[in-house]
Amino acid sequence: MNVVWFKRDLRTEDHIPLAEAARYGEVLPLYAAEPSVWGAGCLSARHFQFVRESLEDMQHSFEKMGGSLYTFTGEIEDALEAIYETCGGFSLHAYRESRSEAEVQKHTRVREWMTDRGLAFHEYEEYGAAGKNAKQRWEAFVRSEAARMPSRLFMPEKIPDRFYSGSEKLKSLAALGSPIKFGQQGGEAQALETIETFLNERAASYLENRSNPLQSTISSSRLSPYLAWGNISLRTVLQKTSIKIENCDNLFPVEQLTAFMDQLKVRWKLVEGEVEAISELCLHDETPPLFDKWHEGETGIPFADACMKCLHKTGWLPAKYRGMLASFGIAVLKLDPAACSEALASLFLDYEPSIHTEQMKKVSSKVVNPVKIGKTEDPDGVFIKRYLPVLERVPVKYIHEPWNYPGFFQLDYQAPVIDLKKAIKRVKKGTEGKNKPSDSEQLSFDL
């Protein structure tokens, strides 16, 4: 019997472990919802909601193959032990881990567990074979053939009692935070639909609008959560984009998709990068009350607050403003970097450890002015008023600095928690001569 262990690869198309396992005989597709993963750290209820939606979608795909996806609540080693006791010997198939230190360590423990029992663990590279020449690796990866989805699966007769078909039983597992109503829905079908609408329609204004706080919801690809949770493979996105570029006509500017391809290449480089703890950044003075104001979008700085409210509500925000929130919290408000990093990670629906940590380190020392950015990107305050309705009737003249509005104290809105201009001036004076990130360095990969 061949067990396929699903983690952040929640799809059936272009899935190498599934395709290979199906060649050897009976297949048991397995997802283990581990309390050690979902009970602490950066993963939250919104992530688990997305995962459950993805598993539900996968179940439909497996049923079409004559099979079923099985889920287990508990640690993966306990799941493997249950299989061993019920079915005897088996082989395990999974993608090799590289996203975070914790996931790499877990993968190593599983490998040792299998080795101790004389069982085969087949590990596969998701982003191409390891090697020193990144250019050659990239070119080989783009040209590589996608794994074919099995047309039919043969399931084992015996299934451990604690395994359940589908994801319904996973609802009992408690994750931190609350689910969201307005986030993107998880699932392979949703991912495939998203890439098609982007390549055929929405990419036409990709470069012009991907940083616009409102228009970016349409013009950016919106593929980042599907890539982060593996609803679609990076190779599939690359190859579909390449085909579209080759067949573009004069009505669809090639430069839009070429820029998107460049972003995909950067993502490919980052996703396998070594993960370092964000706590290695120099620590600032932690002030819990001020942290709460920042985290809840109640700092009295409208554009920053609107961005945070949007993130809480939808789980998504253009990369430029994610970086702004991180920089504003860490560099300007002097909040603890590790606390800010974990808070933002728990809100990003597309949170991916290796990308998040690397980008956090780049933007944390960058000094930003949310008022200045807001005036440039949201001059009429349309975005601000959408997420801060309390400011709906404030004239455009005052929308970015409502404390100057004559009727400010009649508004139910927080006064600024700091004197922003003085705080930024003080920070800049303290960082003179130090290396600073460029304006192009942003937080996370919203694509």
- For the annotated binding site for FAD, the residues are 206, 220-224
**433 secondary structure, DSSP code:** T
Q: Which residues are annotated as a binding site?
A: 206, 220-224
**What token pair was written down for 401?**
């600095």
List, edge to edge, every strand of the sheet that includes 70-73.
Answer: 121-124, 91-95, 2-6, 27-33, 70-73, 164-165
Q: In the chain, how many H helices and how many E strands?
A: 20, 6
Rounded to whole angstroms, the Cα distance separating 10 from 405 reads 50
Phi, psi of 444 (to 5 degrees): 75, 175
Q: Is 384 in a helix, a strand, or coil?
A: helix
Give the residue from 206, 212, 215 showing the smallest Cα distance to 255. Answer: 206
Rounded to whole angstroms, the Cα distance separating 19 from 24 reads 9
**329 secondary structure, DSSP code:** I
Rounded to whole angstroms, the Cα distance separating 169 from 209 reads 41
Tell me the DSSP string of 162-230.
T-EESSGGGGGS--SS---SSSPPPSHHHHHHHHHHHHHTGGGGHHHHTTSTTTHHHHS---HHHHHTT
CA angle 97, 101, 104 (to 5 degrees): 30
